[in-house]
Amino acid sequence: MDSSHDQKRMNVEDDRLSSLPDDLIHKILSFISIKHAIQTSVLSSKWRFLWTSMPYLNFSRDDFSKLPKFSKFVTHVLSDRNNQTEVSSVKISLHGKMSGIFAKKILKYAFSHNIQQLNVASVLANEVGFPLVLFSSRSLKHLSLTMKVLSDIEYRSKYSLRYVFNATSTWDLPALTTLYLDNAALVCDENTDKCIDLFSKCANLKNLTLKSCYMEGFKGLSICLPKLSNLTIEIACGSVEVFNIVAPQLKNLTIRSYFDEQYSLSAPDLVFLFYQGCSCLQLSTDDYLSLEKADICVPRPKDAHQVLRMLQRLHNVKFLTLNVEIVELLSSSVELITNQPSPFANLKSLKIQPDIDFSDLGEHERADMSAEVRSYLLDGSPDATFTMVSREDVRAIKNTKLAQNLITELSVLLEQEKASIETKMAKLHEHGKAHVDTDMSWKYLSVLIQEGEKKTSDIMSMLIAINGILTELPALNRATIQSSFSTLGAEANIVTNKITGFIKLVCDENQRYLSVCFDDVTTASHPSS
């Protein structure tokens, strides 16, 4: 009865799902990979060919144990799919060598079917070149390419583990609204001292992110986009020395650079600005009337005149954050601001803090901020709140976060080790003492001892590291963590006891087995009566 009732209920639910419009079913299936979507073809006759008209294709290399199987599957999908149906969205997840070949195959098909959205995420062992058709699509609206880089050495190399693009030709993507490039290489075959403008034909581009991109063969990159609203440039490197940004509708700008590039900006409607760079940001003469918040960090500013020009361009800002080193430079050049009125008439908040990445490099714990600099920054807005953060405070924040992360990491490690020991114990009881000779051999015991030594050593090293950080923290910061650390220490003691206890148990079982063997041998030597 129950089985019959369950079958009827499943049929009703299946009918409800099947009765939905195909477009809605396709949308539901878009949240899973195309492999799993195809597997739904066994549900009913209606579902048999439903996948062939899906406009959403989600390929994942992780769904296949071997590359040839992935290759065969890609060929099957592209050849059996309804060729009259356009492709609105493609997601590709890749890893390992040669996967890029299949990415090109999928892309060639997708672009011939008026793709609108493309997302590629990779963990690869070599670079990936993209077909030229990618740069002349009339339908593509969203393009996201991300690649996981496993080490700083790989990041600093030229083309390894990157998407490689020929930057000689302008990208003709008139429908594109969002572009996200993570670990891409933009390369000109012929070196030029000119600024190239890759995106000038992307007239509808509103969101642009360039992250960890390598640029070679040209000296400058122009980003002149009439509808651009959000721009992020993080850690670009290579031959580029100048970024020229002209974006009349730009609202949010984030620039994070550890190299010596110059950034020139014209964005009169800017609302939010975050800038971290080795040189001062060069701002146009626009008044930036809409500027709400600006966070400026130049870790080693050298020219006080450039700093002042930059600050004067930001005179309408309401919430301003500057790094300590800027204030210290101005304090050493007070003759430049003496008798100068404060440019900040709308300021609501001023915060001075060290750059968190360089907080250990300052000569003084407290910033050397002269009265003249304070007046220059605050006299125009006497009601503005003022906050000064010392290098000591920043180090305490960094070390507190570091200690918390290590505590979390060690907690996870201890939980994993407890689960591993419980599994080993269950296996030992499951096999029973009769099988100790095979499963609990001396060789296994030797491996257990080596592993146990390493694990207990790692646990102790992490505890010592955390304790070292805690001893350097101010009492208030230390108090927020001490309780968790004490609990962690007790848990670590329990786990290490379990590790040594299990080794002892295996050792005892081995000894018991040997005793049985000795008894069997000596008993066998006696003649039977």
Structure confidence by residue, pLDDT tens digits, 242-273: 999 999 999 999 999 888 889 999 999 999 99
Instruction: Please tell me the distance from the alpha carbon of residue 176 to that of residue 209, in angstroms, as a whole number.
Output: 13
Query: Alpha-carbon Rg of the chain, whole angstroms?
Result: 32
Is residue 438's pLDDT more than 60? no
Question: Are the CB atoms for 212 and 182 separated by under 8 Å?
Answer: yes
Residue 389, number of CB atoms within 10 A of its CB: 18
Q: What is the DSSP letter of 96?
A: S
Q: Which of 35-49, 131-145, 281-295 has the highest mean pLDDT?
A: 281-295
Q: What per-residue confidence (pLDDT) applies to 153?
A: 40
Strand blocks (E) in 247-337: 252-256, 262-266, 272-276, 282-283, 293-297, 319-323
Q: What per-residue confidence (pLDDT) applies to 435?
A: 46
Q: What per-residue confidence (pLDDT) applies to 151?
A: 45
Q: What per-residue confidence (pLDDT) applies to 490?
A: 93
Residue 272 contacts by C-beta under 8 Å, 6 or more apart in sequence?
A: 251, 252, 253, 292, 293, 294
The larger pLDDT score, comparing residue 162 to residue 92, is at 92
Least confident of 280-284, 285-289, 438-442: 438-442
Residue 319: which pLDDT band, with cuts at 50, 70 and 90?
A: very high
User: What tens digit of pLDDT does each residue of 210-252 get?
Assistant: 998 888 888 889 999 999 999 999 977 788 889 999 999 999 9
Is residue 358's pLDDT more than 70? no
Q: What is the mean pLDDT of residues 411-438?
A: 74
Q: What per-residue confidence (pLDDT) applies to 460?
A: 93
Q: What is the mean pLDDT of residues 423-433?
A: 70
Q: What per-residue confidence (pLDDT) applies to 11?
A: 53
Question: Are the CB atoms for 323 and 359 separated by under 8 Å?
Answer: no
The larger pLDDT score, comparing residue 66 to residue 210, is at 210
Residue for token pair 């299946």: 14
Q: What per-residue confidence (pLDDT) applies to 361?
A: 45
Q: What per-residue confidence (pLDDT) applies to 367?
A: 60
Q: What per-residue confidence (pLDDT) applies to 359?
A: 46
Question: Are the CB atoms for 328 and 368 separated by under 8 Å?
Answer: yes
Residue 46 structure tokens: 């209606």
Q: What is the mean pLDDT of residues 276-286?
A: 89
Q: What is the mean pLDDT of residues 356-364?
A: 52
The neighbouring-strand residues paired with 253 are 231, 273
Rounded to the nearest integer, the mean pLDDT of the chain is: 83
Instruction: Please tell me the distance from the alpha carbon of residue 258 to that of residue 422, in angstroms, as a whole number.
Output: 48
Question: Are the CB atoms for 323 and 355 separated by under 8 Å?
Answer: yes
Strand blocks (E) in 329-404: 349-353, 385-388
Is residue 132's pLDDT more than 60? no
Is residue 412's pLDDT more than 70? yes
Q: What per-residue confidence (pLDDT) applies to 120?
A: 87
Q: What per-residue confidence (pLDDT) applies to 317?
A: 96
Is residue 384's pLDDT more than 80? yes
Q: What is the DSSP letter of 52?
A: G
What percent of the chain is modeled with pLDDT above 70?
Answer: 85
